[in-house]
Amino acid sequence: MTRSEKSQVIEDLKVKFSESQYFYFADSSSLTVEQINKLRSTCFEKGIEVQVVKNTLAQKAMESTGDMAEGFEPLYSALAGPTTVFFADTGNAPAKVIKEFRKSFEKPVLKAAYIDSDIFLGDDQLDILSTLKSKDELVGEIIGLLQSPAKNVISALKSSGGTIAGILKTLEERG
């Protein structure tokens, strides 16, 4: 790889790291070409971008992100051995894909994850990451919680309204 090619890779990764709130580092070495293709296909279906990176170039890209660079420092220790990066729009999507994929295969093994400025190191974090709720799921839950009391009030008003109307009608007939 020429120096200009390396510079271009660093620049491309810098943009990805700067713009992505969620990315994972994993080791997917020892997977066959067929298995890697299956993993990439699954990721593509879920809107996850998969990229194999050179560790030194990934670290240089993170170091060149300006203000964000300091937040990436704990990730540098995960940049050893073969590294695959998963870029996603949802924090838990790569973890779910990795977890599901590992029901059939040994790898990928999670090295680290960056979730909206929080850092998770090690494969033991996979269960925690896969149960994280996405922004859309949280918004849906909040809307559901907000609608529940409103539905109860409307239901109570309707039933009370019928009772009050019944009482008024009975009183009118008596009077």
Whether the CA torsion 49, 116, 90, 35 is positive or negative: it is positive
- Dist. CA 126–CA 112, nearest whole Å: 9
Peptide bond into 108 cis (omega under 30): yes
Of all residues in the chain, the percent with pLDDT exceeding 70 is: 86
Contact 57, 17 (CB under 8 A): no
**Residue 9: Cβ within 10 Å count:** 18
Q: Name the band, by pLDDT with cuts 50, 70 and 90, for residue 95.
A: very high
Contacts of 13 (CB under 8 A, 6+ apart): 53, 57, 58, 61, 62
Residue 19 and residue 141: Cα distance in Å, rounded? 27
pLDDT at 39 over 90: yes
For the segment 137-166, the average pLDDT, to the nearest whole number, is 68
As assigned by CATH, the class of the 3-132 domain is: alpha beta
Over residues 94-109, the mean pLDDT reads: 94
Radius of gyration of the chain (CA): 26
pTM: 0.77
Q: What pLDDT score was predicted for residue 154? A: 64
| Each residue's pLDDT tens digit, 49-87 | 999 999 999 999 999 998 888 899 999 999 999 999 999
What mean pLDDT do residues 116-140 have? 87
Which pLDDT belongs to residue 162? Answer: 59
The DSSP call for residue 81 is S
